[in-house]
Amino acid sequence: MTLDFKQDFFALFGQPRRFGLDAAALDAAYRAIAAEVHPDRYASAPDSERRLALMHATRVNEGYQTLRQPLARARYLLQLAGIDTQEETNTSMPAEFLMEQMEWREAIADARAGSHVEQLEKLARELAGDLKSLEAELTEALDSADPDLDGAAQLVRKWRFMEKLDQEIGDAIEALLY
């Protein structure tokens, strides 16, 4: 199999270029393509073919990881549309969102200080619900007939903030349990 390195990851897996994907179809396409390009199939081939197989396998794995993770998929769609999410440089957020972030951090700190693992687990569930809502907003922003790319970029930045909260909760739980 020869892959076209110029095609985007959606085309590679035969998926529509949209945020909302059929995960089962993506998984099936990945397994089929990965099996075709797996370097072990080329173990006795000449060096050049083995290197090419490794490049193909790397590209397939990179594409799959990008498309199967909602945040990475959103970033990639925006990148394809020429939009920079500015996650490292644009930290401006609506005041309401920043207040929520402060409240989350206070709740995490209080639960950790009080060794309340169950409260941290509750916060993790609440955050997971908020991330699901954010994912629905991203679907609307990216997959509508008139996509809101700038709005989607801000949602990606919000998701990044929320990922950090999730990591803080996980770290706090781990610190209390171990």
Q: 157 and 86 in contact (C-beta within 8 Å)? A: yes
Segment holding 123, helix H or strand E: helix 117-143
pLDDT of residue 39: 86
Overall residue count recorded for the chain in this entry? 178
pLDDT of residue 20: 96
Q: 108 and 123 in contact (C-beta within 8 Å)? A: yes
Where do we find the tokens 């939009």? 83
Give pLDDT tens digits for 141-175.
999 999 999 999 999 999 999 999 999 999 999 99
User: What tokens were used for 37?
Assistant: 């390009």
Helix (H, G, I), strand (E, B) or coil at 97: helix
pLDDT of residue 40: 86
pLDDT of residue 89: 85
Closest to 155 (Cα-Cα) out of 170, 142, 167: 142
pLDDT of residue 5: 78
Question: Which residues in the chain land under pLDDT 50?
Answer: none
Tell me the Cα Rg of the chain: 20
pTM score of the predicted model: 0.88
